[in-house]
Structure 1
Amino acid sequence: MKSLVRYRPVTCKSALHPVRGLFPHHWDLNVYRGCQHGCKYCYALYSHKYLKQENDESDQINQTNQIDQINQTNQIDQINQIGRIEQINQTDSDKNESLAGNYYNHIYAKTNIVERLEKELSRPGRKPEVINLGGVSDSYQQAEAEYALMPDILKLMIKYKNPVNISTKSALILRDFDLFDELSKVSYVNIAATVTTTDESLRKIIEPDCSASAKRFDFLEKFKKTDATVGVHVMPVMPLISDSLENLEPIFSRTREIGADYIIAAPLFLRGQTRKSYFEFVKNDFPHLYDPMRILYKTGHLNKEYKTGIYEKINSLSEKYNLSDDYRKSMNLKLKKVWRDRDAETPQEKKPKQLTLSQFGATPF
């Protein structure tokens, strides 16, 4: 039986968090903690274990407005979810959950994030550095239909002409088409969608609560009418499950059809809690692949020769469909204009050296 999703409002002390490493953005903004999409390869499962500590130190759960409380017993909870009362029975897995709850089923909405973001963006001398909208959890997951926090966030980005990246698997992003369109005219905007397969039967297994892959291509095609850079992320490519040419080629073909600016692809990387969860998924849904998969990842990393074979397919398809993997080209051009415009408004300030993208490697956002 599918677990009932619980939404819980929280307040945050900071909207933006600095990003370390070779990424094409300096800040990450996550509207939600947890993600309802339920992707079997999700790398962010670890993040909920820090939530209690973060709540103690910086995030204060709004107890009076909680939709529900996590029960550690086997009793029946009554919760109000999206305007209706439902009864649920806790499962055995619920009993073992920490206070932070399950990443897929306990979604925390940062209800004061717009106010915090305004304060941070309005600080004197702040530079227009790229903000990644949802590096840990999807900004347009189902909870966004309930809380509608993104429109006001985008209005602030427009107000401060702040460049943004966003990658989503949800067609809900089209609700805010006009805001992204407006932002793309005054700053750099990159809109991407992760697509791992065009086979709906497979998609429903590995990404059960995401928009259909066809709908993701559809919204990318619509965003091509704006000034935003549009891309496709084929990440992860799952060995033995989604790495065949029969699975990959339709993705590259459709990417070419919609006129996307780039496509980037990379094989599955397993570590920590994701590794354990993913192998459990394979054992349950693809039992015949369990042992071969364990062999491929026996060192903790994907077998080197197998990984090389995946990249050979990716490179071959990129060449066949004349697709670029350079997501930095348009970023460089558009960010230079952002800086130039900002310098024109504040000529006494020098162009921020830390924003030159020649520093960045090929690590995708």
Structure 2
Amino acid sequence: MHFVEAKGILSARNGMNIYRGCTHGCIYCDSRSVCYNMSHAFEDIEVKINAPQLLEKALRSKRKKCMIGTGAMCDPYMPAEEELKLTRNCLELIEKYQFGAALQTKSDLVLRDIDILSAINEQQKAVVQMTFTTFDDDLCSIIEPNVCSTSRRFEVLMQMKKRGIPTVVWLTPILPYINDTEENLVGLLKYCAEAGVKGIICFGMGLTLRDGSREYYYSALDKHFSGLSDRYRREFGNSYEIPSRNSGRLMAKFAEFCDKYGIMYDNDRCFGYLFDLPEKYEQLSFF
């Protein structure tokens, strides 16, 4: 871990990455790709130590309230966050200046900040997004070795439900010949239905691999799934898109389930929901 004084914090679409790099160890991680030009070792977490100060300056200058996002590239709840509390400090600022928040994580450390998320949601809007890939916790410990299990993430979603905080699940990636089964999909979808998630983001049944992430993924396959990397090379070569042979059947099951339980699953609608901050106060004045 190392610290930097960043020059800015919010992207053009009001997203922020307080940390850069990750120690979760997910074997499929796209953020390892060389196209992102990371100048340090991926596990050597870069910490934007002045993130709260930069965020406060940015929020003060905005004329219109909006959703502030975090977690698109790097999880806002790295283990270091437990001590540093930079994500918490930023959420406190979002609540103070009455903006909305949409965060994405795989960590149950988000429960520490459920009080602030509740406060944000009461006055504006807060959305917690969790990633689901693998229903079986033993398999999850191989695919995502240094982060809480899927069953624990489900518990996080249930706690959010109790507080009335809306949730969205990222059902991605689904790894060919590893977790691309109907049993895995149905188990994850049942979690989503019980937790009352607002929507599920899914880019199809498969994964994508770029230079950098591909090498790491194949190395993990060699370690945990003997012979599977050779099969990938034969079938997919250096392709970016790695679709499951079960994609059609699984996507049909996915759509059928979401329609049955009223879960939003059109990606454009899901992203629209994440970015949209309703004019609550104008709506209240109507009545």
TM-score range (shorter-chain normalised) is 0.7 to 0.9
Structure 1 residues 326 and 223: CA distance shift in structure 2, 3 A: farther
Matching residue of 1:347: none
Distance apart, 1:174 and its partner CA: 0.5
Matched, 1:231 2:231: no
Kept after mapping to 2: 8 A contact 1:34/1:48? no
The yes-or-no answer on 1:13 pairing with 2:7 is yes
What's 1:288 paired with? 227
1:221 to 154, 158, 176: 158
Superimposed CA distance per residue, residues 52-82 of structure 1 (whole angstroms, 9 cap, x where no aligned partner): 4xxxxxxxxxxxxxxxxxxxxxxxxxxxxxx
Question: Which consecutive residues of structure 2, in runs of 5 or more, have no partner in the other structure?
Answer: none
Q: Corresponding residue for 1:162?
A: 99
Aligned to 1:301: 241
> Quick one: percent identity of the two aligned structures?
30
CA distance in 1, matches of 2:75, 2:89: 17
**Corresponding residue for residue 38 of structure 1:** 25
**Displacement, 1:151?**
1.7
Residue 322 to residue 294, structure 1, CA distance change in 2 (3 Å): farther
Q: What is the CA-CA distance between 1:137 and the residue it aligns to?
A: 0.6
Cα distance in 2 between the residues matched to 1:286 and 1:256? 31
Is the contact between residue 207 and residue 241 of structure 2 (CA under 8 Å) also seen in structure 1?
A: no
1:209 aligns with 2:146: yes
Match of 1:324 among 252, 264, 279: 264
Indicate yes or no: 2:249 matched with 1:312.
no
Compute the displacement of 1:320 (Å): 5.5
**2:108–2:153 CA contact under 8 A, matched in 1:** yes
Structure 1 gaps, min length 5: 1-6, 19-25, 53-99, 345-365
Task: Look up the equivalent residue of 1:318 and give its one-letter code.
Answer: C
SS at match of 2:94: helix
Counterpart code for 2:15: D
In the TM superposition, what is the alpha-carbon distance from 1:228 to its structure 2 partner?
A: 2.7
1:114 aligns with 2:52: yes
Query: Does 2:81 match 1:144?
Result: yes
SS in 1 for 2:202: strand
Query: Given that residues 181 and 226 in structure 1 are in contact (C-alpha distance below 8 angstroms), is that contact kept between their aligned partners in structure 2?
Result: yes
Q: What is the RMSD of the two structures over their aligned residues, measured on CA atoms? A: 2.6
Q: Which residue of 2 is the match for residue 337 of structure 1? A: 279
Q: 1:274 to 1:313 in 2, by over 3 A?
A: farther
Q: Find the residue that maps to 1:131 and give its secondary structure.
A: strand
Distance 1:303 1:48, change over 3 A: closer
Distance (Å, rounded) in 2 between the aligned partners of 1:119 and 1:171: 29
Structure 1 residue 140 displacement after superposition: 0.9
2:131 to 194, 208, 220: 194
For residue 71 of structure 2, the aligned residue among 134, 142, 145 is 134
Q: Do residues 241 (structure 1) and 235 (structure 2) align?
A: no
Distance 2:126 2:201 in 1: 17
Q: SS in structure 2 opposite 1:325?
A: coil
Please identify the structure whose Cα radius of gyration is greater.
1
- Aligned partners of 2:10 and 2:193: how far apart in 1? 34
Q: Using the TM superposition, give the Cα deviation of residue 197 of structure 1 relative to its aligned residue in structure 2, in angstroms.
A: 1.2
1:331, distance to aligned residue in structure 2 (A) = 2.8
Q: Note the alpha carbon deviations across 1:77-107, whole angstroms, 9 max, x for none.
A: xxxxxxxxxxxxxxxxxxxxxxx12x1x211
Q: Secondary structure at the match of 2:15?
A: strand
Query: How far off its partner does 1:340 sit?
Result: 4.0
Q: Is 2:214 the partner of 1:275?
A: yes
Cα distance per residue 1:4-42 (max 9 Å; x no partner):
xxx212111101122xxxxxxx22211111111111111
What letter corresponds to residue 109 of structure 2 in structure 1?
L
Cα gap change, 1:333 to 1:185, in 2 (>3 Å): farther
C-alpha spacing 1:304/1:214, structure 2 compared with 1 (3 Å): closer
**For the structure 1 residues 322 and 130, does the alpha-carbon distance in structure 2 shift closer, same or farther, using more than 3 Å as the test?**
closer
Is the 1:221–1:260 contact (alpha carbons within 8 Å) kept by the matching residues of 2? no
8 A Cα contact 2:17 2:71, kept in partner? yes
Q: What letter matches 2:217 in structure 1?
A: Y
Equivalent AA in structure 2 for residue 190 of structure 1: V
The 1-side partners of 2:138 and 2:107 are apart by 18
CA drift at 1:237: 1.1
Q: CA deviation at 1:118?
A: 0.7
Number of the residue aligned with 1:264: 201
How many Å apart are 1:312 and its aligned residue? 2.7
Provide the C-alpha distance between the structure 1 equivalents of 2:152 and 2:107, rounded to a whole number of angstroms: 8
Moved more, 294-303 or 143-152: 294-303
Give the paired residue count: 279
CA 1:130–1:332 in 2, change beyond 3 Å: closer, same or farther? Answer: closer
Q: Distance in 2 between matches of 1:177 and 1:278?
A: 34
C-alpha distance in 1 between matches for 2:274 and 2:186: 29
